[in-house]
Amino acid sequence: MKHVFNSGEIAHIWASQTQQDGRNSQGNFYFTGKTIYSYGSHFPIATIEGNNVFFTLRSYSNTTGGHISDTRRAISHKTIVYCYEVPTVYNNSSVLYDNKKGYLNDTHTKNLNHWKSNIKRLLAEIGNPKNRVLVHRISDLNNNIAQLETYCKYFNIKVIKDSELKAMLKLAKGEDIVNAAKELQGTIDKANASKMKLAVKAYGQYLNLWRKFDSEGIKELSPKVKELCNHYTNARESFTHLRLDTGANRLETSKGVQIPVEVAKRAYIALNGCMTGKCNHLSIPVMNYIITQTTDKAIIAGCHTIPKEDIKYIASLLNW
C-alpha cells in the first residue's frame, strides 16, 4: 500500500479514512489514524470521527497555514466542530473519549477560555464609541458564539459554569446587539456577495495559468488576487477544476489530486447517462474517492464538485 503522497493529496486520503497512515515526501504533513498533523504531534490540525471533524483554531506559520487550508477543503462536506485544543486518538483507538460528559475536562476549559477571550475582546470593541465600522466585529462575535454553541452541543455541555462567560453571552444575545446585527446583516451579505464576484474573476486568472502549467505566472499574481483566490477555494459553492497532464498521462484536480487517465476513463464510462442529468445514490470509485451524485452542472465526490463542462472538455481532448 502506498504511504507517501504529494502534499495536495494527503488531506484527501486522510478524510477518506481508507488507510491507517500517510505523509508527504517532506514528512511535515501527515496523518495517523483519525488525526492529521502539521510538523509533529504538537500540532494536530484535525481529528475525524464519522461525519464530524474536530478542527483547530490555533494560530500557525505560513507552511502550516497551507496544511490547514488543504485539510479544510478536504472536509467541506462534513460537520466541523471548531476547537482551540484538538482531541487526538491514542494507541490506535477508534474512540476519542470514554463518554462525552467525562471527556478531557481540562481541554474543555482551555477551549471555553479561548472563546471567552475572543468574545470579551469583541464586545469591548463593539462598545467602544471610537470604533465606527462594526460589521466585521459583529460578524466575528457571531462566528465565535456559533463555534462555542456547536462545541457545547456536541459534548452535551448544557450549562456553562463560568459566570463571566455566561454574562457575556447574555449581553451578546441581548436586544441591542441583536438589533445591530440585524441592521448590518444586509450590509454583510452584500459585501460577501460582492467579494465572491471579485473572487470568481480572480480565480479565473489563476485557473488559466494553472491549466497552462505556468507556475511562474501564478507566482507573479498580485497578493490581492491570491487572497481572492483563497477566498474562492474556501467557499462552499466553489468548484474543483480539472487539467490534463499529457506528459504524465493523468488528470489533475485544482485540489491537488492526481488521477491516471485510464482510471478517469473508467469512471467517465460508468457515469453514462448521468452526464446529461441528475443522478443520486451513485457509488463510482475513483482512486480513494467515490462519486456519489451528479447535478445538472456538476459531479460530486466527497469535497470535490467538478463542473461537467470540465469533464466534457477532457473527454473531447482524449477522444472518449
**Separation between Cα atoms, residue 302 and residue 282, nearest integer Å:** 12
As a whole number, mean pLDDT of residues 216-237 equals 93
Burial call 75-84: b when 16+ CB within 10 Å, e when fewer? bbebeebbbb
- Whether the predicted pLDDT of 92 surpasses 70: no
Mean pLDDT, the chain, whole residue set: 88
pLDDT at 97 over 60: no
Domain ranges for the chain, please list them.
4-189, 193-238, 239-320
**CA 22 to mean position of chain CA atoms:** 19
Cell numbers at 203, concatenated: 480565480
Q: How confident is the model at residue 235 (pLDDT cuts 50, 70, 90)?
A: confident
Lowest mean pLDDT segment, chosen from 18-27, 39-48, 75-84, 175-184: 175-184
Task: Please compute, for residue 195, the number of CA atoms within 13 A of its CA located in the half-sphere on the CB side.
Answer: 16
pTM, two decimal places: 0.69
Task: Please tell me which residue, 62 or 308, carries the higher pLDDT value.
Answer: 308
Average pLDDT for 246-261:
94
